[in-house]
Structure 1
Amino acid sequence: MAYKQFSAQFLPAVETALHSLLEQHFQQDRYADLRYMMAYHLGWEGEGSGARAQGKRIRPQITLLCCAAAGGDWHNAIPAATAVELIHNFSLIHDDIEDRSELRHGRKTVWAKWGEAQAINTGDAMLTLAHLALIDLDRSLPAVKTLAAAELLQTTCLDLTRGQFLDISFETKRSIPVEDYWPMVGGKTAALLAGCAKLGSLVGGADEDRQDAFYRFGYSLGLAFQAQDDALGIWGDAALLGKSIESDLVSGKKTLPVVFALVKNNAFAQRWLAGPITIEEVPQLAEELRDEGAKEFTLAQADRLTTEALEALHEAVSEPTAGQALEELALDLLKRNR
């Protein structure tokens, strides 16, 4: 598989760059605890550290693959790949605080372990390191392209905060229209994947039209992933997912199946609007959602968006081996067979 071959090269390079960045900026002993908090969150150190705690590093891999698929040398995009991984992890640290999540990958989150104030500071440090990492693009790119990359990363960060704003504001609303769901997940999930794809293609030398096609690939991929994840969060196999399938309904998340059913205003909507759902009610309500067409609708949206993502990818790619690897990664991310 092309993706596995690329991944075997990418992952060590990304980890080395991340380690080097932390060591460069936190050499003094007085900052050792701050470095440790970042290393802990990145999955390198502390109880439960290792591959599972580190995650799959999907976003830097998309950045590097899009650089290669645009016809460029992926080594030149390492600063961008490092930056997007740090942006992703900065957002996770802050999300965990805002969502009151005490566990991530089966480990205590930074705020649960060290308190909110230090977690906020750790996230802020990661955000700053991301922008410092990106500046190293000037070693292989003209200044004007490095500036364009910096603007793209800043815009992506703004999109993330917009999506999180909508997500938090929706918590106090028992229902939202379907058209409000897409901007929320577009910011929270799709914006960073789209930014990664465009950033990689920019470094790889793609023209503006192809950069836009790479962006559309990442954005549609992100929306498809979220729709798929929303379906799995209700009807998936808990053992395979590694998380409870009751949590989305019990926590009151505005996932796509729920938003769809609320608009229909049938039995599920009446129960949802009556107040919080208990774990014991989840199996019956999941069945009601299915009967009302929520699962079919959600999976149809995931299918539509997957098709859009792959069409944009085929339009953008100039290097076929890296393009094939990107398609394999996309379908793997969406838990689909080729």
Structure 2
Amino acid sequence: MTELISYFDEIINNVNTQIKNFIKSDIKVLEDASIYLFSAGGKRLRPIVLVASSDLIGGKRERAYKAAAAVEILHTFTLIHDDIMDRDNLRRGMPTVHVKWGEPMAILAGDFLHAKAFEALNESLRGLSSNTFYNAFNLFIKSIEIISEGQAMDMSFENRFDVTEEEYIEMIKRKTAMLFSCSSALGGIVNEADEEIIKNLSEYGLNLGISFQIVDDILGLIADEKELGKPVYSDIREGKKTILVIKTLHEASENERRLITSILGNKNASKEELEKVAMIIKEHSLNYAYEMAERYSHIAIESLQRIPIKNYTAEKALKYLAEFTVKRRK
């Protein structure tokens, strides 16, 4: 484990340095608002996935660090805009960007980071073939489109009580898993790996991302506010149709269902009402959701077994991430 901690720390420190190098502006307030969430910490999972995917096939670290900065900058852009849409006041235990600087500056900071993500990706590809440039930018652009579609699906689910498991999985594939898939695939693309390797890396990231989001939804129900870094039960208050809610609505008694539908999405629900609904949801769906997350985690690990390994520490790291995502507490 000590080996992996050192490995992760080295990646995180180098990616953080790259992020600081890219996020600079002559307009101090814009720079401050844009860099703010990075200083709040974060797991840097997507950059770790990208650099470890690159290492796995014997890739070049400098290119990988820049590409990893690109995906983390893009991810942070989505978080800022996400918080505005969800009216969240906390992110990673700190006031959200729009709370601290106001919505107009938060939107600008998101736009600024969106551009900076492309700048970092562009730098990671310097000197490579035009085909590699095309593949990397095509993937990055498609990822942004798909993430936007996933967010739109998630929002459209809030007023529905008939969302299916299949629809939920499709939504989290787009909203969350796509950027994990983009990260792992870019680890191959910036090293001009062959198509089969890139495909398997992409599948690893996609299934890791699905597992990650299912566990994120679980934590929204069982973690305390300090662990979560945002208000507990906010998913229930916002009417999010997580796998836990979908499973519960399918299995609940008529009385339970009536209570859940009256509280789910009710912005004025009391803490006691939210806790009561959370308890019912946990009873019906917690084990089911964990088992589903484990299934996707195993599929992710199977994808790695189809890739010729050049770096066994990277392989160990990627397997650990797939296993850890199901066990994490925040």
Percent of matched pairs sharing the same residue: 33
The answer to whether the aligner puts 1:296 opposite 2:287 as a matched pair is yes
- The match for 1:187 is 174
Deviations 1:135-186 (A, max 9, x none): 1133352222122111111111111101101111112223412221112111
- Size of the aligned set, in residue pairs, is 322
- The match for 2:297 is 306
**Compared CA separation, residues 204 and 4, structure 1 to 2 (3 A):** farther
> Cα distance, 1:242 vs. partner?
5.1
Given that residues 90 and 231 in structure 2 are in contact (C-alpha distance below 8 angstroms), is that contact kept between their aligned partners in structure 1?
Answer: no
Given that residues 68 and 204 in structure 1 are in contact (C-alpha distance below 8 angstroms), is that contact kept between their aligned partners in structure 2?
Answer: no
> Cα distance, 1:234 vs. partner?
2.1
Given that residues 244 and 281 in structure 2 are in contact (C-alpha distance below 8 angstroms), is that contact kept between their aligned partners in structure 1?
Answer: yes
Matches within 5 A, 1:1-338: 1=1, 2-23=3-24, 26=25, 28=26, 31-43=27-39, 53-236=40-223, 240-241=227-228, 245-264=232-251, 266=253, 267-275=255-263, 276=266, 277-292=269-284, 294-319=285-310, 320-335=312-327
**Structure 2 unpaired stretches of 5+:** none
Given that residues 132 and 192 in structure 2 are in contact (C-alpha distance below 8 angstroms), is that contact kept between their aligned partners in structure 1?
Answer: no
> Cα distance, 1:315 vs. partner?
1.9
Given that residues 211 and 325 in structure 2 are in contact (C-alpha distance below 8 angstroms), is that contact kept between their aligned partners in structure 1?
Answer: no
Deviations 1:41-64 (A, max 9, x none): 321xxxxxxxxx121211111111
Given that residues 66 and 204 in structure 1 are in contact (C-alpha distance below 8 angstroms), is that contact kept between their aligned partners in structure 2?
Answer: no
- Normalised by the length of structure 1, the TM-score is 0.88
**Alignment partners' CA distance in 1, 2:82 and 2:164:** 24
- Aligned residue type for 2:289: T
> Cα distance, 1:203 vs. partner?
1.9
Deviations 1:5-25 (A, max 9, x none): 3223212211221111123xx
- The match for 1:46 is none
- Give the 3-state SS of the residue equivalent to 2:108 in structure 1: helix
**Alignment partners' CA distance in 2, 1:150 and 1:284:** 47
**Alignment partners' CA distance in 2, 1:42 and 1:287:** 34
- Aligned residue type for 1:194: S
**Compared CA separation, residues 3 and 182, structure 1 to 2 (3 A):** same
Given that residues 211 and 316 in structure 1 are in contact (C-alpha distance below 8 angstroms), is that contact kept between their aligned partners in structure 2?
Answer: no
- Give the 3-state SS of the residue equivalent to 2:49 in structure 1: helix
Deviations 1:165-213 (A, max 9, x none): 1111112223412221112111111110111000112223431112111
- Give the 3-state SS of the residue equivalent to 1:72 in structure 2: coil
**Alignment partners' CA distance in 1, 2:105 and 2:226:** 34
- Aligned residue type for 2:152: F
Given that residues 294 and 326 in structure 2 are in contact (C-alpha distance below 8 angstroms), is that contact kept between their aligned partners in structure 1?
Answer: no
Given that residues 63 and 196 in structure 1 are in contact (C-alpha distance below 8 angstroms), is that contact kept between their aligned partners in structure 2?
Answer: yes
Given that residues 195 and 218 in structure 1 are in contact (C-alpha distance below 8 angstroms), is that contact kept between their aligned partners in structure 2?
Answer: yes
> Cα distance, 1:77 vs. partner?
1.5
**Alignment partners' CA distance in 2, 1:317 and 1:112:** 47
**Alignment partners' CA distance in 1, 2:98 and 2:308:** 41
**Alignment partners' CA distance in 2, 1:240 and 1:54:** 13
- Aligned residue type for 2:302: E
**Compared CA separation, residues 180 and 35, structure 1 to 2 (3 A):** same
**Compared CA separation, residues 97 and 219, structure 1 to 2 (3 A):** same
